[in-house]
């Protein structure tokens, strides 16, 4: 791969945009105080659009050896940049009408493995949500080099993790699968995480169920009818957000 940019170049571009006022705001927003889910994370005070401007300049010119260095940074925004650069590599490896799609399939597998090896560096919800659907999700919705669909068992493994962020990856990756009308992994993972104690998982499960309901409203309602007693109230509110008002009110007034 042509490596036109090094990790140090990318990080320097982000550090140059650092802002103390924004840093304090971001640290509050992403819950970095002691006892909160983002405790210990360090911010520079660079917004996501600013990070994306660096990605736009450097995309597909940074190889995974250099992205690894970005993902190991103590700074949240530098890790975000690393994940977004990985997204760009995966998007470039999607099947094309022309070219060697066997090589592209092998590249998708390589990038997915690279992502999984660095999954715990996505240690806040924004890093998870902006990376896993387009990296791991893209890998799972296209055939491998042998023409077979990749196994979604990796999502079960992530859901069984004791790490909050890997569990959220297991759930939010389904956003891409649902867009390709693949629903069973979502249902299976949702079942495993319905009793999870953390609000960030309650929201993720409800969000993905809502996405399923956009395409298969009957399937969503069937799921709600059978799982409502086990469902956290936050999950329910997210899941029914786009249902017709009579249906929303019906579920809200049922005991959970």
Reduce the DSSP state of residue 152 to 3 states and report it.
coil
pTM value?
Answer: 0.95
Q: Could you tell me the pLDDT band of residue 60, with boundaries at 50, 70 and 90?
A: confident
Q: Please tell me whether residues 130 and 18 are part of one structural domain.
A: yes
Domain at 162, CATH number: 1.25.10.90
Q: Mean pLDDT across the stretch 220-245?
A: 95
Q: Please report the pLDDT score of residue 17 as a whole number.
A: 98
Q: Please tell me whether residues 124 and 238 are part of one structural domain.
A: no
Q: Mean pLDDT across the stretch 41-67?
A: 96
Tens-place pLDDT, residues 136-169? 999 999 999 999 999 999 999 999 999 999 999 9
**CA 79 to mean position of chain CA atoms:** 14
Q: Please tell me whether residues 7 and 116 are part of one structural domain.
A: yes
Q: Please tell me whether residues 254 and 210 are part of one structural domain.
A: yes
Q: Which of 132, 150, 168 is the last residue of a domain?
A: 150
Q: Mean pLDDT across the stretch 5-24?
A: 96
Sign of CA dihedral 64, 66, 72, 73: negative
Number of structural domains (the chain) is 2
Q: Which of 115, 131, 150 is the last residue of a domain?
A: 150
Tens-place pLDDT, residues 96-121? 988 789 999 999 999 999 999 999 99
Domain enclosing residue 56, as ranges: 1-150
| Backbone φ and ψ of 123, nearest 5° | -100, 35
Q: Please tell me whether residues 82 and 139 are part of one structural domain.
A: yes
Partnered with residue 75 across adjacent β-strands are: 42
Q: What share of the chain in percent tops pLDDT 70?
A: 98
Distance CA 215, CA 197 (A): 28
Q: Which of 106, 128, 150 is the last residue of a domain?
A: 150
Contacts of residue 175, Cβ cutoff 8 Å, sequence gap at least 6: 133, 137, 208, 211
Partnered with residue 42 across adjacent β-strands are: 75
Q: Please report the pLDDT score of residue 1 as a whole number.
A: 38
Q: Please tell me whether residues 137 and 31 are part of one structural domain.
A: yes
Q: Please report the pLDDT score of residue 99 as a whole number.
A: 77
Q: Please tell me whether residues 170 and 241 are part of one structural domain.
A: yes
Q: Could you tell me the pLDDT band of residue 256, with boundaries at 50, 70 and 90?
A: low
Closest residue by Cα to residue 182 from 227, 221, 147, 143:
143
Q: Mean pLDDT across the stretch 226-240?
A: 95
Sign of CA dihedral 175, 180, 183, 188: negative
| 8 A C-beta contact, residue 181 and residue 189 | no
């Amino acid at each position: 791969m042509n490596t036109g940019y090094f990790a140090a170049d990318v990080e320097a571009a982000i550090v140059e945009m650092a802002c103390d006022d924004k840093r304090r705001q971001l640290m509050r927003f992403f819950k970095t105080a002691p006892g909160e889910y983002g405790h210990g994370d360090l911010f520079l005070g660079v917004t996501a659009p600013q990070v994306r401007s660096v990605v736009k300049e450097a995309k597909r010119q940074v190889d995974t050896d250099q992205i690894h260095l970005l993902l190991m940074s103590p700074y949240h925004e530098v890790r975000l940049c690393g994940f977004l650069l990985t997204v760009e590599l995966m998007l470039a490896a999607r099947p094309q009408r022309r070219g060697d799609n066997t090589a592209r399939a092998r590249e998708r597998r390589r990038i997915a493995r690279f992502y999984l090896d660095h999954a715990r560096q996505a240690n806040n919800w924004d890093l998870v949500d902006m990376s896993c659907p387009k990296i791991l999700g893209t890998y799972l919705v296209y055939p491998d080099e042998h023409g077979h669909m990749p196994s979604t068992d990796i999502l079960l493994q992530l859901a069984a993790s004791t790490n909050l962020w890997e569990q959220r990856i297991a759930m939010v990756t389904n956003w891409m699968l649902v867009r390709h009308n693949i629903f069973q992994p979502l249902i299976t993972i949702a079942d495993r995480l319905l009793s999870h104690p953390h609000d960030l998982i309650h929201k993720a499960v409800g969000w993905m169920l809502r996405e399923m309901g956009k395409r298969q409203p009957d399937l969503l309602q069937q799921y709600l009818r059978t799982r409502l007693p086990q469902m956290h109230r936050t999950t329910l509110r997210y899941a029914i957000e786009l249902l017709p008002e009579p249906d929303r009110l019906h579920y809200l007034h049922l005991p959970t």
